Amino acid sequence: MAKQQPHPDEAQLIKTILAFRDDPLGFVLFVFPWGKENTPLQYHKGPRAWQRRALLQMQAHIHANHNRLNQGDIPELMKLARASGRGIGKSAFLAWVALWLFCTLPSSTVIVSANTEEQLRSTTFPEIRKWATMSIMSRWFEHQVEALHPSDWLIEALKKSTEYDDAYWYIKAKLWSDENPDAYAGPHSQVGMAVLFDEASGIAAVIWPVALGYFTDKTVYRFFFAISNPRNPSGAFFECFHRNRELWNHEKIDGRSVTENDPGVYNDIIHEHGADSDEARVEVYGEFPRQGDENFIARGDVEAAIARELPPEDLGAPLLMGVDPARMGNDKAVIRFRHGVDARSIKPLVYPKCNTQQMAEHVALAIDKYKPGHVFIEGDGVGAPVIELLEKWGYQIITVTVASTAQEPKKWYLHRTEIWGRMANWIETGCLPDEDDLVDDLCTMRYRMNLKGQKALWTKKEMLKEGFGSPDYADALAMTFSRTVSRLDNRTSRRHTRGRVARDVDYAMFS
């Protein structure tokens, strides 16, 4: 086969394409045959509205990074997440991003991954090759099954007409394994770097921090994009919209908002499964399902507890206070309050990780201020010395040993699962605050059935491996379900101590 040679007008085309380096939308509008007869795009005028928004946000990010660099600051990594209903053009958008960076920034690196090997090889990467072939720069690429490389003549043309002298750049499909996440490591670029996750909801959480390791070079052009139908109500993609939402440019896209699509497809899904079904949430609205197979508490139950109207104050219910001490890393110490069915009225007290003395002082101040009927503190690990100090100061504390045998061992594995189970039952009639951190903790906790037929919560190490943080906000509330307590109007006598809590644990029922 004869070696491909540059077209006479190719030098001008190269200059034109390179000029779109800071304008992804302009690139997409210029290089593809929008509205041209006898092409796949003859009935399309340009990107869909959501795609256009994202491309413009990329442009704004690039300009902001140039400003940061000019001011001596480090350019930021752009992290973009999109959850959507079916058929909105997710893979097409990722293909445009890959081709834009490849063509406007030679020496850049683009890594493309998907939820499964089949998805990557049969859908995601063929979509990139399709748009490359359809583009005005179709002669620029050497196609492989799982990679695009620049043609030899393009490399030589760039060396002659620009400052580029690096022949090594590419768009590459990359597989991953949750059993060997380190094998995913490797690529870097001092010029431009993009990692594109297609159907990201199915990519294991252990892969995401490895992918972040690609972005150590302080270049203006760094992009980590994750796009998916939101099929899993947990995991790293879910956290882009919940616990980690402040770190991501995130948006949920209802499939019906894409005017180019047939609304009948979405209406059929709603009609068949119901407007409030998880199928409609995932396939139409771009919303995460309420509960996965392994989720301990249904999101629908939590949402109902948030929407539930508070009843009149129950004067007979004692005020309970739960404390989850901070442990390590990004964990926080959290103090929560529950007054019968009301866990909403008193806001939680949240403290970054603090030492034993500081934690004990925070708890003591809260006791003196709110005068709860009972104080429950997790006594495993760092909680034990906090309890010891408080008792030394004269406060009476109920120690919650989450690693102890459950009080109902036929049903629950360890006391930790038991108190979460009681909390889950309470949520069906209780009133919760609309707090994102608490909601995320409650709705992401996962469990399994062990060989004895007991429900067992995932350990915190297992949750961390899957990309979840420590459920501090929910654990603090769960503490208040460790023991049964009597109602105030059922007691014949009470002990009163100034600024201290009377310890009475042998009561009949939960308040």
Percent of all residues in the chain with a pLDDT value above 70, rounded to a whole number: 91
Q: Is the pLDDT of residue 212 over 70?
A: yes
Residue 311 in any domain: the answer is yes
Does residue 209 share a domain with residue 137? yes
Do 319 and 215 share a domain, yes or no? Answer: no
State the pLDDT confidence band at 447, using cuts at 50, 70 and 90.
confident
Residue 302: pLDDT above 80?
A: yes
* Domain limit, last residue, from 234, 257, 285: 285
Residue 363 pLDDT greater than 70, yes or no = yes
DSSP reduced 3-state for 352: strand
pLDDT winner (highest mean) among 77-86, 198-207, 464-473: 77-86
The 3-state secondary structure of 17-32 reads HHCCCCCHHHHHHHHC
* pLDDT exceeds cutoff 90 at 227: yes
232, 310: one domain: no
Mean pLDDT of 345-368: 93
pLDDT tens, residue by residue, 28-55: 999 999 999 999 999 999 999 999 999 9
The arithmetic mean of pLDDT across residues 191-201, rounded, is 94
Residues 6+ apart with CB under 8 A from 307: none
How do residues 321-332 score in pLDDT, each as one tens digit?
Answer: 999 997 655 578
What is the separation, in whole angstroms, between the first and last Cα of the chain? 82
User: Does position 429 have pLDDT exceeding 90, yes or no?
Assistant: yes
User: Considering the domain boundaries, does residue 194 fall inside one?
Assistant: yes
Structural domain includes residue 294: no
Residue where one domain finishes, among candidates 285, 319, 346: 285
Question: Are 248 and 396 in a shared domain?
Answer: no
Can you list the alpha helix ranges (DSSP code H) found in 105-187?
117-119, 125-134, 152-161
Q: Classify residue 347 by its DSSP letter.
A: P
129 and 53 in a single domain? The answer is yes
- In 176-280, where do the E strands start and end? 192-198, 221-228, 249-253
Structural domain contains residue 508:
no
pLDDT tens for residues 378-427? 998 889 999 999 999 999 999 999 999 999 998 899 999 999 999 999 99
**Lookup: tokens for 182:** 């380190």
Task: For the chain, give the mean pLDDT.
Answer: 88
Query: What CATH number corresponds to the domain at position 279?
Result: 3.40.50.300
List the single range of 172-176, 178-182, 217-221 with lowest mean pLDDT. 178-182
Average pLDDT over residues 99-124: 93
Is there a domain that residue 503 lies in? no
Instruction: Report the pLDDT averaged over residues 212-216.
Output: 93
Choice among 25-39, 98-112, 286-300, 391-405 with the minimum mean pLDDT: 286-300
| Residue listed under structure tokens 């995460």 | 288
Predicted local confidence at residue 4, as pLDDT? 52
Least confident of 75-84, 249-258, 489-498: 489-498
CB 342 within 8 A of CB 310: yes
* Mean pLDDT confidence for 248-274: 91
Query: In 3-state terms, what secondary structure has residue 464?
Result: helix
Contact between residue 346 and residue 359 where contact means Cβ atoms under 8 Å apart: no
The CB-side HSE value for 151 (13 A sphere, CA atoms) comes to: 16
Mean pLDDT, rounded, for 329-347: 89
Q: Say if 495 falls within a structural domain.
A: no
Between 476 and 107, name the one with better pLDDT: 476
What type of residue sits at position 492? T
Q: What CATH number is given to the structural domain containing 373?
A: 3.30.420.240
Say if residue 135 is in the same domain as residue 234: yes
pLDDT of residue 492: 44
pLDDT of residue 73: 95
186 and 330 housed in the same domain: no
Are 145 and 258 found together in one domain? yes
Instruction: For residues 363-389, give the mean pLDDT.
Output: 94
Residue 176: predicted pLDDT: 93
Residue 420 class from Cβ within 10 Å (0-12 exposed, 13-18 middle, 19+ buried)?
buried
Query: In angstroms, rounded to a whole number, what is the distance separating the alpha carbons of residues 148 and 129?
Result: 8
- Provide the CA 68 distance to its chain's centre, in angstroms: 27
Label residue 289 by pLDDT band (50, 70, 90). confident
In a domain, 507, yes or no: no
Q: Are residues 434 and 315 in the same domain?
A: yes
What domain count does the chain have? 2
Q: Biggest alpha carbon distance in the chain?
A: 100
What count of Cα atoms within 13 Å lies in the side-chain half-sphere of residue 285? 13
Output the pLDDT for position 327. Answer: 62
Which residues form the domain of 375? 300-490
Q: What angle do CA 75, 78, 80 make, to 5 degrees?
A: 170
- Judge if 90 and 190 occupy the same domain: yes
Query: What is the reported pLDDT for 330?
Result: 57
Q: Are residues 305 and 226 in the same domain?
A: no
Return d(Cα 434, Cα 302) in angstroms, integer: 9
Q: Provide the 10 A C-beta neighbour count for residue 175.
A: 13
Look at residue 110 and tell me if it is in a domain: yes
Rounded average pLDDT over 198-209: 91
Q: Given a cut of 50, is residue 496 above it in pLDDT? A: no
If asked whether residues 415 and 464 sit together in one domain, one would say yes
Strand (E) positions, 199-246?
A: 221-228
d(CA 201, CA 115): 7
pLDDT of amino acid 291: 64
